[in-house]
Structure 1
Amino acid sequence: MTTKFYSNKVLEQIKENYIVGVLASKEDYLPRIGDDNEPVTYSQSMNDVLFFVKPLSQEPKEITEVENRIHMNKMYIGLSSKSFSNMPLELKYTKDVNKIIKYIRETLEGKLLLFKPVLTQQERTERFYKNIDNVIVEEDLERGTSYYAVPRIDLTPSEFEKKLLLEEAIHLEQYNHAMPAPLYVLCGDYIYGNIKENQWRVDPSSSNARVITSPTTIKRVQISEEERQKYIRSERDFLAFFNDEFINTDIADRLDTKGIFLIDLEEEVTLEPNVITEVEEDRAEENVSTFSEKLDEIDFIKNLEIKAKTRNLVYSREDLINFHTSIKSSALTILSGQSGIGKTRLATLYGETLGLSQENKTMLIMPISPSYTEPGDILGYLNPATGLYMPAETGLVEFLLNAQENESQVHMLIMDEMNLSQIEHYFSPFISLLELEEKERFLHLYSKDSVCHNSQKYKSSIQLKNNLVIVGTMNTDETTKDLSDRLLDRSNVVVLEKRSFLEIKKELEKVDRSKIYSSGLEDAYGEVYMSWRSNKENWNAFEEDELEFFDSIDKAISSVDPLKGFSIRNIIRMGAYLNNLPYDSEKGFHIERDKAIDLFIKQRVITKIRGPIESYENLIGTLEIGQEKPEGELYKLFSSESALEISYFEKTRKELNRKARELAVNGYAT
């Protein structure tokens, strides 16, 4: 592999910036270039005293690139002869290196250090070094703290905001093109944020000029003088180093909840209050209503069915509506069925019909590897040696961040062949979180007390909002893992019906491709998807006699295994499922309520009933050859008069027949 070197222009740009750091400790991984393994040491080969500094703020992009490419040591190397301009005169000419070592250690230890970074490259030996131009000793260091460099703009807030809205170049002195794009900017008494890294565009007219595209997304919040004094630990004329946790937690949260959009600031100046604003709100409501009407839920299902057939995929209409309703009403939906039936293709097609794609990060297809054993395998980890969060190659973290930032747009995660590895191991943080209210669903990537130098991009936690839908596909063979009761209790398992070959051929012959409903807005289905979800109270979906019957089912199952009963969670989720059934006045794309109850119980309750004949013979019964129905207690309950007043339970009883036959043949029901 050819080694990449940088031009002198780039190397000079790097040196124009500032970093804060701390003198390394013996516990840190130090470069092996000194005479001993100490943070301040003498090097005979260099005939100089060296000291090592650990960075605590953003570093130039080229330095990070070199670190990742050749796994270079994180420490910056300072030389007493070049990096310590304020060395006392009597020490500059002494030959007693121990005095110099002692002075440097006592001067730097426990202090916050400000310095300019230098990238030294030796093309002959193909080596790189991180050096220090000149170290400036600041105040005492708060242990365990990292810092975020925030560029300071030398303009009034109104001048700065005008430049932003006109997309004019902003000069970031002391923070040039070599540095990563900042996510916060300081101007006057305000911190500006809600800025994405890809919004910045480099202006080639100057080494420190950048332009923010789509600036209307930017928000500002005011910062008090008390906060400046407390949280700014080092500053230059055009740069302030804030406590990282304060910026990425307190300020980020304040921007989310109280931040004022730039466009709103502009309207405050140009619009008369309570007049134009109300008119605009009325127009906005009209536009949303019209928009939703053009993107009707039933038309979406029709399009899904026809698009599937145009790709030679034939699913029963009931399966499509069941799958759609399950996704709307459950945090996790699992597609099961015979291998090759088209589970992954259905999940992908569903997302595509919603207008989602992997390119715009609204859909993620994540193949599951048998090697996944813990959450870090799909999420990533905080590298303690480098202080950088390293996202996994799955792309899951970036996808979840995009979902968090765009909560009005549905995002779909597809876990392909999810049971190739034990789901409860690699997916464990999600299983409990997805049952919580949105305001409590925070996925923790690492401890908020940890030092993370790229925390501006990868915060310690991500909120899983209601716009996130998760679909898993699974096979059932000797290469896969069984689903636990804990997972089955939290997901709808939709088993796709296998159609006959002749039926598939006839269906495909009838396909009329011109029937795909078109409003010209199909790519925006994902933006109105949230409006299709019901807000009705889940308990109100049931009559009293239905709840009494479900209690009898729970009692029968719990008598064998209390952990497999008809749980309260199941009742609540069934209510959500029934409330979310799509309404179709023509009844062509609709599941009747009694059939929906049957479907739900089969895929949410009966799936958990599995085990040996010794435990389950009385509950399930056995079905011998020539026998029409089992004598198990559950089959009798679902065939009773009280049951038939609710549903015929055709699918549930068919599944009980299958389990009873397994008990008779294998002595075990799955």
Structure 2
Amino acid sequence: MYYHKWDVDMIGVYDGSYDEIPGRSSVFINNQDVLQLYIRIISQAPSNFPQKKKYVTCFANSFSQWGYEDIRASEEERIEHLLNFLEGQLVVFRPEMKDTHLNAKEVRLIKSNDSYEDGEFLYPIPIYSERNLKVTFTQFMSHLHERKTIGEVSGLSKEKDDCPSYLIWKDLDDKLTVVGQFTQFAYSHGGFSYISEEGMRVTDFEDNWLDKSYQHPKYMGDLLFMPRDVDVEIEHVLNTKDVYIHESPATEMAATVERVLDRDTEADLSHEYEFLEHLQMVTMNSYLSYSKKDLINFHTAMKSSTMVILAGMSGTGKSKLFQSYVKSLNLPHSHYEMIPVRPDWTDDHDLIGYVDTINMVYRPGHSGLIDILLLAEQNPDEPFFICFDEMNLAKVEHYFAQFLSILEMDLHARSLQLYHTDLANRLYNSNNYPPAINIGNNVMFVGTVNIDETTHHFSDKVLDRANVIELNVQPFVDLKQLEEKREPIKKKELISFFEHYETFRNTTPTIELEDSEMELLWDIHLSLRMLGKKFGIGPRIVNQIDKYIKNIPNQVGVSRLEALDLQIVQRILTKIRGTEEQLVHFIGTYRNGVVENSALIDCINQFNNDETHFEMTRIVIKEKAKELAINGYTL
């Protein structure tokens, strides 16, 4: 018999809406003469909870400790008496599954708020109290920065995919403060630790938020259940308003700003323009046909993010583009590596190697990855490029696991662990291969992927960290014209552009997106949130879009609006996948070659009502709407 119990608090309500078993009443007297009813779940479930389950079974005798007493009467009177008792009550419970039966255990009752409405949905947010932790707010924030465990939270899911985007601090005067945004958390015996990618943001918790929320320390642990509209409002405040940003030590940021201010702007622009012209000529001389905008898009993505994925059908020249790029930079062979991915890779030992305990040596993987990473660590001012060819032949989340975690960390914390530090003094070659390698922003990763039945689809964890570019296939007639366009490489074009690469990059830490652009992204985020909790645009994506747009080279024929269009496609729409039932209101309905009733098109039209703008976004929307209409889903 299958059995599982979740030590997670959830909330439900009896509303008579049970429809999972045709003909079954939502409340009835069972064979044991006990009133049995179905409670509709109205709070976020753990990620390992059966997602299709909308109801849990509850028994009336579970309410006896809350003052309920069954009566000796007819079936109709007993049911009416129970429903009168439950009027205005929400049911807090911990779910238990026996075989396929889902039951409510450890049942508690709380009054619904005056603002409660049918269809309300709640999210659990942890509360950390100064009274319980016995630390000051400054000490608490310091522990968060250092990613230390900060205590238990009863009733909160420990699944790694259930990280709350923010938490709440309660001081000795019961004043509440919101701290966010968090992208990951982990659980150990000391409690939870949290990871914030862009620096923690802090704002006061408003009274009207508390009025709409649910919390009872005696019955629900240190959890505050937040309705959807309050949750969205808090994220909006953390994302867009003037809130206090609690930064980690600022020395690295100050150094970054100083490097940016020291750039010789005119010389940098000239070098970058020459490089792009040279890149186009190198591709033509190699009989490769790319649009100039694709080359600019790839270059901008490379210098503004640490990972770029080139996607598309086989034969579109994805690997060749990477090779042309490093060739155009006149990069030394030691500064780039092409790593063919094997379908039998199941963990990162194939990449980073392992400790040979028989001979007491560290044996790096045969890919050459470790050697180039060590060289990059020794030369932090020079760029290094690593391409994983046919990246999705194996599951990226398995063999690339460490790197996916590293790519979201602050630069000072980006360290690849090769083996445990305790082994360093025992390995014969530890001088050549230390226990860990620091990975700076001078290391850039590229992945080429084919989308067909032989490959694995990317998870959101991968897509969150990458610009995904689908190369456009150029008209075949262009291939005949390449011979006419080819030119010999001039000596001045043999300049070592890689020496200027850092000056091509705009690394200013402040967000420079315009207010109207932020409002567009927020409108898209709100439309996505209506699809469910897992949909939306996180702060990480907003920051990455900002980095991309301010890294578009000047005077190269790509406007700011075109850059925003590309980023919506490459950063947001790559993650939109699911069933027609889920997505039809967001994507729209495909009918007679036209997309109708699309929330996303409404968002971009409100930003710019010229139908010739957001060309790429409109094309992808149409493709996805057509897939929904034909297949009933889109990938």
TM-score by length of 2: 0.56
Specify the SS of the correspondent of 2:511: helix
Q: What are structure 1's unaligned runs of at least 5 residues? A: 1-287
Deviation at 1:526, TM superposition (A): 1.4
The 1:650/1:518 distance shift into structure 2, 3 A limit, reads same
Structure 1 residue 631 corresponds to structure 2 residue 597: yes
Show the counterpart of 1:608: 575
1:622 maps to which of 589, 594, 597: 589
Alignment match of 1:488 (pick from 428, 450, 463) = 463
Map 1:116-515 to 2 at 5 A: 296-358=271-333, 361-450=334-423, 451-506=426-481, 508-514=482-488
**2:493 and 2:273 mapped to 1: Cα distance?**
16
> How many aligned residue pairs are there?
372
Distance in 2 (CA, whole Å) between partners of 1:291 and 1:579 is 16
* Post-superposition CA distance 1:593-649 (Å, at most 9, x none): 00000001111101100011121122212313x2322322222222x2334489921
**Quick one: distance in 1 between partners of 2:360 and 2:288?**
48
Identify the range of structure 1 (495-504 vs 480-489) with the bigger mean alpha-carbon deviation. Answer: 495-504
| One-letter identity of the residue aligned with 2:412 | K
Instruction: Say which SS state the counterpart of residue 478 (structure 1) adopts.
Output: coil
* C-alpha displacement of 1:433: 0.9
The 8 Å contact of residues 581 and 590 in structure 1, kept in 2 or not, is answered as no
Of 556, 570, 583, the match for 2:554: 583
Instruction: Answer yes or no: is the 8 Å Cα contact 1:356–1:362 preserved in 2.
Output: yes
- 1:415 and 1:432 map into 2 onto residues whose CA distance is 17
Number of the residue aligned with 2:507: 535
Do 2:268 and 2:504's aligned partners in 1 also have CA atoms closer than 8 Å? no
Question: Greater shift after overlay, 304-313 or 429-438?
Answer: 429-438
Give 1:290 deviation, angstroms: 12
**Change over 3 Å in CA distance of 1:291–1:543 after alignment to 2:** closer
Say if 1:556 and 1:386 are closer, same or farther in 2 by CA, change over 3 A. same
Q: Which runs of 5+ in 2 are unaligned?
A: 1-262
Aligned amino acid, residue 536 of structure 1 = T
Bigger Rg, which one: 1
Q: CA deviation at 1:295?
A: 7.3
Q: Corresponding residue for 2:515?
A: 544
| Structure 1 contact 294–519 (Cα < 8 Å) conserved | no
**What value does the CA root-mean-square deviation take over the aligned residues?**
2.2
Q: Deviations over 1:220-254 (max 9, x none)?
A: xxxxxxxxxxxxxxxxxxxxxxxxxxxxxxxxxxx
Query: 1:392-451, CA deviations, whole angstroms, 9 ceiling, x for partnerless residues?
Result: 111110111011111121110011000000001100111121222221111100110123
Pairwise CA distance, 1:545? 2.2
2:531 is the counterpart of 1:560: yes
Q: Distance in 2 between matches of 1:495 and 1:294?
A: 27
CA apart distance, 1:505: 2.2
Identity, in percent, stands at 35
Cα distance, 1:509 vs. partner? 4.3
Task: Specify whether residues 545 and 294 from structure 1 end up closer, same or farther in structure 2 by C-alpha distance, changes over 3 A only.
Answer: closer
Q: Per-residue CA shift, 1:495-535, capped at 9, x if unaligned?
A: 101111113323x1441404x4542652x211210111113
Q: Which range is displaced more, 297-306 or 559-568? A: 559-568
Identify the residue that residue 574 of structure 1 maps to in structure 2: 545
Residue type of the alignment partner of 1:668: Y
Alignment-mate amino acid for residue 508 of structure 2: K
Partners in 2 of 1:479 and 1:429 — Cα distance?
Answer: 24
Preserved CA contact (<8 Å) 1:418 1:472 = yes
Partner of 1:47: none
Specify the SS of the correspondent of 2:453: coil
State the alpha-carbon separation in 2 of the partners of residues 531 and 597 from structure 1.
Answer: 23
Q: Which moved more, 1:382-391 or 1:324-333?
A: 382-391
Runs ≥4 residues deviating over 3 A: 288-295, 643-647
**Distance (whole Å) between structure 2 residues aligned to residue 595 and residue 517 of structure 1:** 32
Give per-residue Cα distances to partners, 1:379-400, cap 9 Å, x unaligned.
Answer: 1011222221001111110111
Q: Distance in 1 between matches of 2:409 and 2:400?
A: 16
User: What amino acid is aligned across from residue 634 of structure 1 in structure 2?
Assistant: L
AA at the equivalent of 2:527: A
Q: Which amino acid aligns with 2:627?
A: E
2:502 and 2:442 map into 1 onto residues whose CA distance is 7
User: Which residue of 1 is the match for residue 629 of structure 2?
Assistant: 664
